[in-house]
Amino acid sequence: MIAALTTPYVAWWALVPLITFAVAGFLLLTVASLVRRLPAVLAPAWTAVAGLGVLLYLVPMWSRVGRDGADSFLAGTVGVDRSSIFVTGILAVAVIAAALISRDYLPREDLPGVELYVLLLMSAAGGVVMASANDLIVLFLGLEILSIAVYVLAALHLRRIESQEAALKYFLLGAFSSAFLLYGIALVYGATGSTNMVRISAFLAQNVLVDDAMLLAGLGLLLVGLGFKVAVVPFHAWTPDVYQGAPTPVVAWMAAGVKAAGFAALMRVFVLTLGTYVSDWRPAFQVIAAATVLAGAVVAVVQTDVKRMLAYSSIVHAGFILVGLQAATDRGNSSVLAYLAVYAFLTVGSFAVVTVVSGTGDASHGLDAYRGMGRRHPALAGVFTVLLLGQAGIPFTGGFVVKLGVLAAAVDGGAYWLAGVAMLAAAVAAFVYLRLLVAMYLEEVPSGTETSGAVPLGALVVAVASAVIVLVVGLVPGPLLDLARDAVPVLVAG
């Protein structure tokens, strides 16, 4: 008789967000298969409620982790700490926002209704896995769950050839970069004898490798794979094309959710697991961060398509987050988390506005569509103004507070030149946002543009709520900064 398997300890309470997203997705798919004609409002409402439920559940979870400390389970492959709760919260917000924006987007584009929401929930589940992975393999699993759903999401606009193109490009390059990531994991495993982050970091802390070539090569490959997901130079090239082509609500999710999960993974892998090798990877991070902020800002200047413009601006933001991440200190980590939170609001709000302006066919993304918007849609233009000023990092917006945070973290670590470069890039990038503002307020409505009708409710709610939050964070940043400070990522052995 063979001894029965002892199942590992599972902290079910910590899996609730993951299970909620996954089960909500499956249920939605089941219902959609059974019922021919679903009420149009059901799927978005369902998705938003799932997101909201997760968000609410995170509150007791946060205090429980604060009381009992971080936990690790499933044989030490999954860990839950406050940073993973924080990132899960960002993901939930992004899910809610994307669902609300999609509510009016899909009927307008005459697209079938349910797949987007199902895939969104799946993708979010993958993101949660990434944010709480304690094992490189689990991290990879989460990344693939997240990514594959997003590849399909990018292709969802059936009648836009750009959408198909974007999905194919994203898929090919994503698969390419996944290979790098997997090879990196293999090399790290070869060097340390484990894929478990806790064990890797313990191994590296106790042993000095005589030959660390394999480990360091693995480190480089991990950086390639994760750098692709968060879109930093030189792994960023897909971003503008994909952002331009993919349906706008999906772009909102990609920019806010995928990036948050990707940076959470970068933080777990590099800062926590490979922290002992910080002197080796920090210079690489610094160069990449500098190249990212500069390239993103400079190329953004010449864009004429607003979605591409925002894509490059998201690249600049990624560079800024990297500026905070390379510090590899608690201060750096909390600045990264705060940045991710504010950036999520900035970006979902901005893309909500873009969704509205793009008009039927998701095609009007030129500056022309924004000219004279201050007169045609004063409310929407005002909200967009706040969001753009936030992206530019103007004082009294959340964008300023978090930019200051990452710069302070960098300067704290002695990376003066990097902070200088980042400030320079911020100055260049400000020009991009300014151009949009000028188009909205100071330029004539081009003749022949029909005045678009009422602003759809879902997008309006997202845009207004984001703008308000960005302003509130700018005025009273204390609570957010405190949350981010408390959300220290830790690795706990299972």
Partner 1 sequence: MVDLIWLVPALPLGGFIVLIFCGRRIGEPFAGWLATGVMAGSFIATVAVFLDMAGRSAHDRRAVVTLFEWIPAGDLSVDVGFLVDPLSLTMCLFITGVGALIHLYSVGYMHGDAGFPRFFAYLNLFTFAMLMLVLGDNLLLTFLGWEGVGACSYMLISFWFTEPANATAGKKAFVTNRIGDWGFMVAMFATFFTFGSLNYVDVLDASEAGTVAQTTATLIAVMLLVGAVGKSAQFPLYLWLPDAMAGPTPVSALIHAATMVTSGVYLLTRVNPVIADAAGWVPDLIAWLGVGTALFAATIAMAQTDIKKVLAYSTISQLGYMFLAVGSGAYVAAVFHMVTHAFFKALLFLGSGSVIHGMDGDQDMRHYGGLRRFMPVTAGTFVVGWLAIAGVPPFSGFWSKDEILAFAWNKSPALWFVGLLTAVLTAFYMTRLMAMTFSGESRYADERPGEEDGGAAALRADHTPHESPRTMTAPLVVLAGLAMVAGFVQLPFSSSTKWLEHWLEPSLYSNEVHLGIGGGTQFLLAAIAVVGGVVGIGVAVAVYVKARVDRGLFEQAIFADAWRIDRSVARFMGGPGRQGFDATNRFDERVVDGAVFGVADVVRRLAGLGRLFHSGMVRTYASGIGVGAVALITWFLVRSTL
Partner 2 sequence: MSDYLRNWLTLVVFGGVAVLLVGAFLGLGSLVRPSRQTSQKAVVYESGVDPQGDMWSQSNIRYYVFALMFVLFDVEAVFIFPWATRLEVYDVFGLVEMAIFIFILALGLFYAWRKGLLRWI
Q: Which residue in the set 4, 161, 208, 454 belongs to the binding site for partner 2 (CB under 8 A)?
A: 4
Answer with the entry of partner 1, partner 2, none that 177 interacts with (C-beta below 5 to 8 A by kind): partner 1
219 scored as a contact of partner 1 (CB under 8 A)? yes
How many beta carbons lie within 10 A of that of residue 154, not counting itself? 26
Q: Are strands 71-73 and 78-80 parallel, antiparallel or unpaired?
A: antiparallel
Q: Which residue in the set 64, 108, 169, 376 belongs to the binding site for partner 1 (CB under 8 A)?
A: 169
223 scored as a contact of partner 1 (CB under 8 A)? yes
Q: Which residue matches tokens 């709760």?
A: 85
Q: Which residue in the set 12, 39, 161, 210 belongs to the binding site for partner 2 (CB under 8 A)?
A: 210
Q: Which residues, other chains included, contact 161 with Cβ-Cβ below 8 Å and sequence gap of 6+? A: none
Span from 31-39, 91-99, 161-169, 246-254 in contact with partner 2 (CB under 8 A): 31-39
Q: Which residue in the set 79, 89, 113, 227 belongs to the binding site for partner 1 (CB under 8 A)?
A: 227
473 scored as a contact of partner 1 (CB under 8 A)? no
What's the closest the beta carbon of residue 33 comes to partner 2, in angstroms?
Answer: 4
411 scored as a contact of partner 1 (CB under 8 A)? yes
The whole-angstrom separation of Cα 344 and Cα 293 is 18
Check: CB of residue 170 under 8 Å from CB of residue 150. Answer: yes
Q: Which residue in the set 11, 26, 203, 428 belongs to the binding site for partner 2 (CB under 8 A)?
A: 26
Check: CB of residue 257 under 8 Å from CB of residue 129. Answer: no
Answer with the entry of partner 2, partner 1, none that 7 interacts with (C-beta below 5 to 8 A by kind): partner 2
Q: Which residue in the set 70, 224, 264, 487 belongs to the binding site for partner 1 (CB under 8 A)?
A: 224
Check: CB of residue 267 under 8 Å from CB of residue 223. Answer: no
Q: Which residue in the set 42, 75, 202, 237 belongs to the binding site for partner 1 (CB under 8 A)?
A: 237
Q: By C-beta, is 42 or 278 nearer to partner 2?
A: 42
Q: By C-beta, is 13 or 417 nearer to partner 1?
A: 417
207 scored as a contact of partner 2 (CB under 8 A)? no
CA neighbor of 151 nearest in space, from 141, 165, 137: 165
446 scored as a contact of partner 1 (CB under 8 A)? no
Q: Which residue matches tokens 């964008």?
A: 399
Check: CB of residue 221 under 8 Å from CB of residue 184. Answer: yes
Span from 210-218, 257-265, 433-441, 471-479 in contact with partner 2 (CB under 8 A): 210-218
Q: For the CA atoms of 333, 335, 340, 346, what is the dihedral angle to 10 degrees?
A: 180
Q: By C-beta, is 2 or 454 nearer to partner 2?
A: 2
Q: Which residue in the set 9, 19, 30, 438 belongs to the binding site for partner 2 (CB under 8 A)?
A: 30
Chain centre to alpha carbon of residue 214: 30
How many beta carbons lie within 10 A of that of residue 408, not counting itself? 16
Chain centre to alpha carbon of residue 188: 26
Q: By C-beta, is 124 or 269 nearer to partner 1?
A: 269
Three-class SS state of 370:
helix
Q: By C-beta, is 253 or 285 nearer to partner 1?
A: 285
- The pairs formed by 462-465 with CB atoms below 8 angstroms and a separation of 24 or more are 462/97, 462/100, 462/101, 462/348, 462/349, 462/352, 463/349, 463/352, 463/353, 463/356, 463/380, 463/383, 463/384, 463/387, 464/383, 465/349
Answer with the entry of partner 1, partner 2, none that 363 interacts with (C-beta below 5 to 8 A by kind): none
Q: Which residues pair with 410 in a beta bridge?
A: none
Q: By C-beta, is 161 or 210 nearer to partner 2?
A: 210
DSSP for 261-330?
HHHHHHIIIIIIITGGGHHHHHHHHHHHHHHHHHHHHHHHHT--BHHHHHHHHHHHHHHHHHHHHTT-SH
Answer with the entry of partner 2, partner 1, none that 30 interacts with (C-beta below 5 to 8 A by kind): partner 2
Answer with the entry of partner 2, partner 1, none that 66 interacts with (C-beta below 5 to 8 A by kind): none
Q: Which residues, other chains included, contact 55 with Cβ-Cβ below 8 Å and sequence gap of 6+? A: 89, 92, 93, 96
Q: Which residue in the set 140, 151, 238, 253 belongs to the binding site for partner 1 (CB under 8 A)?
A: 238
Q: Which residues bind partner 1 (CB under 8 A)?
A: 168-169, 172-173, 176-177, 180, 209-213, 215-217, 219-221, 223-224, 227-228, 233-235, 237-238, 240-241, 280-281, 283-284, 295, 298-302, 331, 394-396, 401, 404, 407-408, 411, 419-420, 423-424, 427-428, 430-431, 434, 438, 441-444, 475-478, 481-482, 485
Q: Which residues bind partner 2 (CB under 8 A)?
A: 2-5, 7, 26, 29-30, 32-34, 210-211, 213
